[in-house]
Amino acid sequence: MSNESYEHLAAGDYDLEDRQALRRVAGLSTELEDVTEVEYRRLRLERVVLVGVWTTGTVVDAENSLQELRLLAETAGSQVLEGLIQRRQRPDSATYIGSGKAAELRDIVVSSGADTVICDGELTPGQLRQLEEVVKVKVIDRTALILDIFAQHAKSREGKAQVELAQLSYLLPRLRGWGGNLSRQVGGRAAGGVGIGGRGPGETKIELDRRRIRERMAKLRRQIGGMSTARETMRSRRARREVPAVAIAGYTNAGKSSLLNRLTGAGVLVEDALFATLDPTVRRARTPDGRLFTIADTVGFVRHLPHQLVEAFRSTLEEVADADLILHVVDGSHPDPESQLAAVREVLADLDGVGHIPEIVVVNKADAADPVVLARLATRERHSVVVSARTGKGIDELLAVIERELPRLDHEVHMLVPYDRGDLISRAHKEGEVLSIDHTADGTVLRARVPAGLYSELDRTGKPVETVV
């Protein structure tokens, strides 16, 4: 791309251009013959078959879940060839779909030329191994797929550390050894005539790998703890200034980053893909009456979000827990927006201190949504606003609702401020809500609602005014 073209790109456009700079070419791949080595090489998804087990709900729910799995697989860079749903009371404990269906799946894999099977659920280590033995290609579950997408999209040092910690937590119970590979020992009586340095209690390679993973996880937790301290310092600094905080939460690809860009001009990356942005972004914004507040874009949610990710991203999700107001963004054009709302609230319920925070449901993508669906959501969610981040429809109404819902400033002042303390007038504009200003010969007569810290400074510096001349 030429330099002239780059000059017209916003910050998010740079990120999008960088992400799309290297694309996978279909048909060019090299796979290992031994699929049992899958845990020890980078996950590469190319030609996949999707498999889901339908246990509860309607067939529409099952199909929507598999459609979401298709979007996840395509976001990870794969080509979806087939999608299969099996009706069962519960997943098979051995092969997830049962031995007979596993054999049928093997025939479909051979006929379609697939190199990967992705299951719509979190499989146990035993299920993964036994299903892999039947279909003879690598088997990935939904959790591993989501972790792979997070690994591709994480950019910040904190985000990469959080994703790595989640991946290691997932990998630890799934380490496996075959034959002479991971089961071989170091030292011990089995060393026989190795001699000095070869004797000892002995440790298998799989035990060695588990120990190294645990040590790496402990180190990552320390690093994330240090980074979360810095994040907490920033939050406490904003709290001392008494700037209200708004957090954007919602399902992945509901348009959270687009809404942040529309409200603040942040210029963060926007892409029609699941989990396009992971790193939280905090920007300043103002209500229609000029009051300052911060607005934070957080990581997206999804059905059955892996608990490893929830734990690893807990410091990031604290942006929601510390907010004064939550904007819960939902995709109005989605076939089942109610399930998106339920999935997000299920995760938020596990966070301490979120239950008492006011919530505004922001139904996004109104320009592409069915009016019947919008009317249904408006009836179901009384405290909601319909917007389109792409066209700007409803944004003014949303800002008015934010202004009404933000906590009110407790202290109203009406005093004369000397001209040499213009910094206090400036802070009143930035941090408070200015009702009126009148310039007199002795100073500036200010009438405003301000936070406690600014009120104490004005009280020390200014003089009370009974009437405005």
Q: Has 161 been labeled as part of a binding site? A: no
Is residue 33 classed exposed, middle or buried when 0-12, 13-18 and 19+ CB atoms within 10 A define those classes? exposed
Q: Has 275 been labeled as part of a binding site? A: yes
- Strands (E) across 88-226 are located at 116-119, 138-141, 185-186, 203-204
Give the count of beta carbons closer than 10 Å to the beta carbon of residue 218.
11
CA–CA distances in Å: residue 88 to residues 58, 107, 130, 139: 13, 21, 19, 20
Q: Has 255 been labeled as part of a binding site? A: yes
Coil/strand/helix, residue 245: strand
φ, ψ (nearest 5 deg) of residue 297: -95, 130
Q: Has 463 been labeled as part of a binding site? A: no
Whether residue 290 contacts residue 429, with contact meaning beta carbons closer than 8 Å, is answered with: yes
Q: Has 366 been labeled as part of a binding site? A: yes
For residue 230, give both structure tokens.
């810095």
Residue 177 has a pLDDT of: 52
Residues 6+ away with beta carbon under 8 Å from 407: 244, 324
Pairing of strands 411-417, 433-439: unpaired
Q: Has 204 been labeled as part of a binding site? A: no
Domains and their CATH numbers in the chain: 35-149 (3.40.50.11060), 242-405 (3.40.50.300), 411-464 (3.30.70)
Residue 182 has a pLDDT of: 45
Q: Has 277 been labeled as part of a binding site? A: yes
- The DSSP result for 359-418, as a single string, is EEEEEE-TTTS-HHHHHHHHHH-SSEEE--TTT-TTHHHHHHHHHHHSPPP-EEEEEEE-
C-alpha to C-alpha distance for 152 and 145, rounded to whole angstroms: 11
Buried b (16+ CB within 10 A) or exposed e, 364-394: bbbeebeeebbeebeeebeebbbbbbbeeeb
Pairing of strands 79-87, 116-119: unpaired
Residue 9 has a pLDDT of: 52
Q: Has 285 been labeled as part of a binding site? A: no
Coil/strand/helix, residue 69: helix
- Tell me the torsion sign for CA atoms 385, 389, 394, 398: positive
Pairing of strands 359-364, 384-386: parallel
Residue 465 has a pLDDT of: 72
CA–CA distances in Å: residue 276 to residues 92, 113, 126, 373: 33, 29, 32, 25
Q: Has 278 been labeled as part of a binding site? A: yes
Q: Has 300 been labeled as part of a binding site? A: yes
Q: Has 64 been labeled as part of a binding site? A: no
CA–CA distances in Å: residue 71 to residues 50, 173, 270, 329: 11, 27, 16, 19
Q: Has 365 been labeled as part of a binding site? A: yes
Q: Has 331 been labeled as part of a binding site? A: no
Going edge to edge, which strands form the sheet with 433-439? 433-439, 444-450, 411-417, 463-464
Q: Has 228 been labeled as part of a binding site? A: no
Q: Has 299 been labeled as part of a binding site? A: yes
pLDDT per residue, tens digit, the chain (469 aa), is: 444 444 445 555 656 566 555 454 444 444 444 555 444 444 455 789 999 998 888 888 888 889 989 988 888 888 899 998 888 889 999 999 988 899 999 999 999 989 899 999 889 888 998 999 999 998 989 988 988 888 887 777 887 888 888 889 888 888 765 444 444 444 444 444 444 554 455 556 778 888 888 999 999 988 888 877 766 776 666 555 567 889 898 888 888 888 888 888 766 555 656 666 666 778 888 888 777 888 888 778 888 777 777 776 776 677 787 788 999 999 999 888 998 899 889 888 887 778 788 899 999 999 988 999 999 998 899 889 999 988 999 999 999 999 888 877 667 788 888 888 888 888 888 777 788 888 888 888 888 877 766 777 787 787 787 644 4
Question: Which residue do the tokens 């389109």 mark?
Answer: 388
Q: Has 298 been labeled as part of a binding site? A: yes
The helix, strand and coil proportions of the chain, stated in percent and rounded to the nearest 5, come to 45, 20, 35
Q: Has 202 been labeled as part of a binding site? A: no
Q: Has 250 been labeled as part of a binding site? A: yes
- Tell me the torsion sign for CA atoms 255, 257, 258, 264: positive
Q: Has 389 been labeled as part of a binding site? A: yes
Q: Has 265 been labeled as part of a binding site? A: no
